[in-house]
Amino acid sequence: TPLRNGLLDESLKKNNYDVRDSDIDYLDRWTQFKTEWQIASDVTFHNNVYMMTSNRQWRNADGYTLNSAANTVNRYEFLEIYHDQEQYGSRSDLTFDNTVFGLKNQTVIGFDVNRIEFTHTNNSPYTGSSTVNAYDFDPGNWASSVATRPSHTSKADQHAFFLEDRLVLNDKWSVAGGIRFDHIDFSRDDLINGTHQERTFDALSWRSGAVYNLTKDTALYGQYATATSPVGSSLMGQSAANTRLELSTAKQYELGVKQTLQDGKGEWTFAGYHITKNKLATRNPNNTSLVEQ
């Protein structure tokens, strides 16, 4: 909703200033094949092979500015964007039930591999504009003088190794921890200017925590965890400029309680947590065209 002199005008807040034929369309498919093999009484193998495809479209007028004196709304950035993505992967792990110094212990060792192929199509630089009355108007149709065409493709090959362990100290206490290492080979091809970019990302994350059983159905827990993620909403769709940036990092503290009700017929969780993220992309205040971490 466009603002009037920087403030919300209650008489405008329910008006939809988008074009008549605006569209948001998602078609996602996810196919999985899961395997579980009890190799021995204390060793279990799990595998999940999957294929995901996603086809998405956005078409709309994306910007609105109110002319307070004339009571008109200027609509601009008539954009059309397509995302076409395929992902293939396999996640495998071995679970070992054993003892450590006479204490019950469970260890999980796993490997994750996947490939993502992504094509971004748009009508950048998103030209097109129109002006309508703020209260009584014909929405009109979407129109742009720039053709919608593929702008770039991206590929990512990811390999990850992870290890988790849970040690039961006694009837009340247990401790758990895990570590994961990710290696990503990423490439981006600009289909407009013909440039090619390649990056390699390595990321190590870990977590540790403890559980205290108040009763057989109620447990208190606490954990500390670290994580990594792409700077934007996804690695595949980020701009050429953001491709040079490092992965963002995060850490989280969490405390909570879980309880199972009526022999497993229900459960509830209450948790408090604090998350800190670093290496986020932000505009340089002295040069707003420059994005840095």
Q: Is the peptide bond before 125 cis (omega within 30 degrees of 0)?
A: yes
Three-state secondary structure call for residue 244: helix
How confident is the model over 21-37, as pLDDT tens digits?
999 999 999 999 999 99
Q: Alpha-carbon Rg of the chain, whole angstroms? A: 26
Long-range own/partner contacts, residues 228-235 (CB < 8 A, 24 or more apart) = 228/182, 228/203, 231/279, 231/280, 231/281, 231/293, 232/281, 235/154, 235/156, 235/184, 235/186
- Mean pLDDT score of the chain: 94
The neighbour count for residue 152, using CB atoms within 10 Å, is 22
| pLDDT band for position 283 (cuts 50, 70, 90) | confident
pLDDT above 90: percentage of residues in the chain: 87
Predicted local confidence at residue 238, as pLDDT: 80
CA–CA distance from 113 to each of 47, 52, 84, 110, 239 (Å)? 11, 14, 21, 10, 25
Predicted local confidence at residue 181, as pLDDT: 98
How confident is the model over 244-277, as pLDDT tens digits?
889 999 999 999 999 999 888 999 999 999 999 9
On the question of pLDDT at 232 being above 80, the answer is no
Q: Can you give the pTM of this predicted structure?
A: 0.83
Predicted local confidence at residue 23, as pLDDT: 96
Dihedral sign, CA of 221, 224, 227, 231? Answer: positive
